Chains A and B, each alone.
Chain A
C-alpha cells in the first residue's frame, strides 16, 4: 500500500533562518506531489505542485521554493523565513486520474 512520510512534525525557527521540509511517498511511482499551507483556523492554500521529476509549478509568489530531486521526494525550502511563513504545511500525493489526494501528517512551523 502507499504511504506518505513528512518530517519534521514540529519546527520552531527564528526569522531569517533557512527552511527545509521533506516529503516522501512509498508504494507508488510517478505520483503528483503537492505542498499546501494552512494558516491557523483557515483553509488550504496550494503552494506548489509537481507532475514529475524537476517539474515544479508555483501557485503563489513568495519566498518559498520547492524541488523534486527524485520521483517520490518533494522538498519545500526557504533561504530566509518570514513571520508570515508560520503555519501548518501539508504534503500530498495523488495518482493520475480521478483519485483523491492523500495527505501526510503535516509540519507545524512556528517562526519566532
Chain B
C-alpha cells in the first residue's frame, strides 16, 4: 500500500527566508504532483513531476523529484506573505493507476 508522508506539517517562516518541504513515499511511483490550497478553498495544481531528476520552477517555488530515494522537495525561495497556504504532494502508484494518494499537507505561514 502506497503511503505518502510530508514534513513538516506546519511551517512558520519569515518573509525573505528560504525553506524546503519534503515529501516521501513508500513504493515505486511514476508521477508526483504538488498542489496548493488556500484556506476554505479548493486545490490548485502547481507542478507535475514525471521522471527522476525532474525539476520544475514557478516564481519562488521549485519542485524536484528523486525517484530512487522516493523523495520530492518543494523549495521556497525568499518567501513572501502571498505564499501562505497549505501545500500537498500527491503520488500515483506505478502501473498507470489513475488514483492519487495525498500527503497530509504542509501548512505554511509566512510572517512579515
Pick the residue among B31, B41, B50 that contacts A105 (CB under 8 A). Answer: B41
Interface hits, B57-100 → A, CB 8 Å: 88, 90, 98-100
A99 and B105 within 8 A (CB): no
A100 and B45 within 8 A (CB): yes
On whether A100 and B33 interact (CB within 8 A), knowing A43-B105, A90-B42, A105-B41, the answer reads yes
Contact with B along A56-75 (1 / 0, CB 8 A): 00010000000000000000
Q: What is the interface residue range for chain B against chain A? A: 20 to 34
Interface hits, A24-81 → B, CB 8 Å: 32, 42-44, 46, 49, 51, 59
B103 and A94 within 8 A (CB): no
Minimum distance in angstroms from B22 CB to a CB of chain A: 15
Is B25 part of the contact surface with A, judged by Cβ < 8 Å? no
Q: What is the interface residue range for chain A against chain B? A: 20 to 34
Contact with A along B20-51 (1 / 0, CB 8 A): 00000000000101010000111111001010
Give the CA-CA distance A108 to B35 in the complex, in Å.
20
List residues of chain A with CB within 8 A of the CB of B103. Answer: 43
List residues of chain A with CB within 8 A of the CB of B48. Answer: 98-100
List residues of chain B with CB within 8 A of the CB of A92. Answer: 43
List residues of chain B with CB within 8 A of the CB of A105. Answer: 41-42
Ranked 6 nearest A-B pairs via Cβ: A43-B104, A100-B45, A44-B102, A103-B42, A103-B43, A32-B98
Q: List 20 A-B contacts (CB under 8 A).
A: A42-B105, A43-B104, A44-B43, A44-B90, A46-B99, A46-B100, A49-B98, A59-B99, A90-B43, A94-B98, A98-B48, A100-B35, A100-B45, A101-B33, A102-B45, A103-B43, A105-B41, A105-B42, A106-B41, A106-B42
Q: Which residues of A contact B (CB under 8 A)?
A: 32, 42-44, 46, 49, 51, 59, 90, 92, 94, 96, 98-106, 108
Starting from the known contacts A44-B88, A104-B42, 7 additional A-B residue pairs (CB-CB under 8 Å) come to A42-B105, A46-B99, A98-B50, A100-B48, A103-B42, A103-B43, A106-B41
